């Protein structure tokens, strides 16, 4: 276990988030030098990648500035897109004989914002159809209490660095996770919303 490797004396779960680790912030990670902190981050991405399909199946949607109207619209449209792709994935699995349903678990720190977005999605007749395989309500959890939300933070940060700064070190370690699995339908687990039709990113190609 990664925590045991770097914090052998601490038995309660420590929260792993990529930015505080990289910047050496907080009471746990500020005692390590930059090289060691980068190694911790590398180790997390190795663990994520080693999970492989179908144990860990990431979804991410990125919006290019060419499609942005305002910050609220970016968040809502990307959330809607992830929900649609997650639902399409579940539908595809159903058609392949794996009738599983999905559940949304969201960072409690963003609860108000996502409750509003989800409420708007549920009101839309067109979008309702996209949510057919996502059951119940979204659940909000504290990041520090669930490793899965911490994994989501690492994945989204790798995607962010790839698209925003063209830095691929972390993304290269996990990018294959987005493309593993075979589908009957065109499931886009990594989606790039852009008006640039000549985009050469790995999601558009």
**Does 65 interact with Zn ion (rule: CB under 5 A)?**
no
Radius of gyration of the chain measured on its C-alpha atoms: 18
Binds Zn ion (CB under 5 A): choice among 51, 141, 193, 201:
201
Q: How many CA atoms lie within 13 A of 118 on its CB side?
A: 19
Give the shortest CB-163-to-Zn ion separation in angstroms. 8
CA distance 142 to 86: 22
The count of residues interacting with Zn ion (CB under 5 A) is 4
Report d(CA 63, CA 67) in Å as an integer: 7
Residue 76 touching Zn ion (CB under 5 A): no
Q: How far is the CB of 26 from Zn ion (least distance, A)?
A: 34
Q: Give the contacts of 141 (CB within 8 A, at least 6 positions apart).
A: 105, 106, 107, 108, 149
Stretch that binds Zn ion, among 4-12, 112-120, 182-190, 193-201 (CB under 5 A): 193-201
Q: Is 193 in the site for Zn ion (CB under 5 A)?
A: no
Q: How far is the CB of 192 from Zn ion (least distance, A)?
A: 3
Site for Zn ion contains 188 (CB under 5 A)? no
By CB under 5 A, residue 192 contacts Zn ion: yes
CA gap 13, 7 in Å, rounded:
10
In the complex, the residues that contact Zn ion under the rule CB under 5 A are: 192, 199, 201, 204
């Amino acid at each position: 276990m990664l925590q045991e490797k770097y914090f052998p004396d601490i038995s309660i779960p420590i929260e792993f988030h990529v930015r505080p680790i990289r910047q050496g912030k907080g009471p746990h990670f500020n005692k390590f030098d930059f090289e060691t902190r980068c190694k911790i981050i590398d180790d997390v991405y190795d663990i994520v990648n080693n999970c492989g399909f179908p144990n860990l199946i990431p979804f991410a949607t990125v919006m290019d500035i060419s499609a942005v109207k305002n910050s609220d619209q970016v968040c809502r449209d990307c959330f809607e897109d992830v929900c649609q792709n997650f639902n399409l994935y579940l539908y595809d699995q159903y058609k392949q004989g794996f009738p599983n349903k999905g559940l949304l678990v969201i960072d409690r720190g963003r609860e108000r914002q996502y409750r509003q977005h989800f409420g708007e999605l549920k009101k839309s007749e067109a979008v309702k159809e996209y949510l057919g395989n996502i059951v119940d309500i979204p659940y909000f959890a504290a990041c520090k209490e669930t490793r899965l939300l911490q994994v989501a933070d690492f994945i989204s940060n790798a995607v962010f660095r790839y698209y925003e700064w063209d830095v691929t070190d972390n993304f290269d370690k996990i990018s294959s996770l987005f493309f593993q699995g075979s589908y009957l339908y065109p499931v886009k687990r990594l989606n790039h919303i852009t008006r640039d039709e000549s985009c050469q990113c790995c999601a558009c190609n």
